[in-house]
């Protein structure tokens, strides 16, 4: 003889308590994961910034090396540095080449991950290393225009 299965009030209460505990645990895990996610996003932006700065600086160095070796025409006052970042993308005419071929140093300007633009801060050889204004003579270095700081307290513009 089988007995009818009865569900008591106590079983409903226990299930509700279990549900509340599980929900609380899920909320705690979610709250703990948000700072970690923000940290990962920040680290990814920092990595992208380092790569973009390295790419532009390498292109500037290649331009200077090519100019000093006589591969492109030297401009007065530019000290063999490019006059603009666009010049690295558009290219410059090779010296002593009758066909007028150009050499390019960048395919495109990298995007600054912190400002989300291709507008970089520029420094010439005559500028102060910590200056935020560009003298306009040539482009010796680039930096981000972001005012944010790295976790160690250094401004990203000093990277």
pLDDT reported for residue 7:
55
Angstrom CA distances, 46 to 3, 25, 26, 49, 153, stand at 68, 32, 30, 5, 13
pLDDT reported for residue 12:
54
Distance CA 121, CA 101 (A): 30
Residue 39 lies in a domain: no
pLDDT reported for residue 4:
58
Residue 31 lies in a domain: no
Domain of 62?
46-158
Compute the mean pLDDT over every residue in the chain, rounded to the nearest whole number.
Answer: 87
Residue 75 above 60 pLDDT?
Answer: yes
Of 137 and 11, the structure prediction assigns the larger pLDDT to 137
Residue 37 lies in a domain: no
Distance CA 78, CA 138 (A): 5
Residue 147 above 60 pLDDT?
Answer: yes
pLDDT reported for residue 135:
78
Residue 117 lies in a domain: yes
Residue 142 lies in a domain: yes
* Total domain count, the chain: 1
pTM of the model: 0.76
How far is the first Cα of the chain from the last one, in angstroms, to the nearest whole number? 82
Residue 11 lies in a domain: no
Residue 99 lies in a domain: yes
């Amino acid at each position: 003889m089988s007995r009818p299965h009865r569900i008591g009030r106590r079983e409903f209460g226990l299930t509700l308590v279990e549900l509340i505990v599980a929900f609380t645990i899920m909320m705690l895990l979610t709250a703990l994961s948000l700072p970690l996610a923000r940290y990962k996003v920040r680290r990814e932006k920092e990595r992208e910034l380092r790569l973009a700065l390295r790419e532009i600086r390498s292109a500037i160095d290649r331009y200077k090396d090519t100019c000093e070796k006589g591969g492109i025409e030297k401009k007065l006052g530019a000290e063999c540095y490019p006059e603009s970042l666009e010049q690295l993308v558009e290219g410059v005419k090779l010296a002593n080449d009758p066909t007028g071929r150009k050499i390019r140093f960048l395919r495109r300007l990298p995007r600054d991950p912190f400002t989300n633009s291709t507008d970089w801060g520029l420094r010439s050889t005559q500028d102060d290393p910590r200056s935020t204004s560009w003298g306009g003579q040539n482009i010796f270095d680039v930096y981000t225009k972001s005012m944010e700081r790295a976790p160690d307290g250094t401004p990203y513009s000093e990277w």
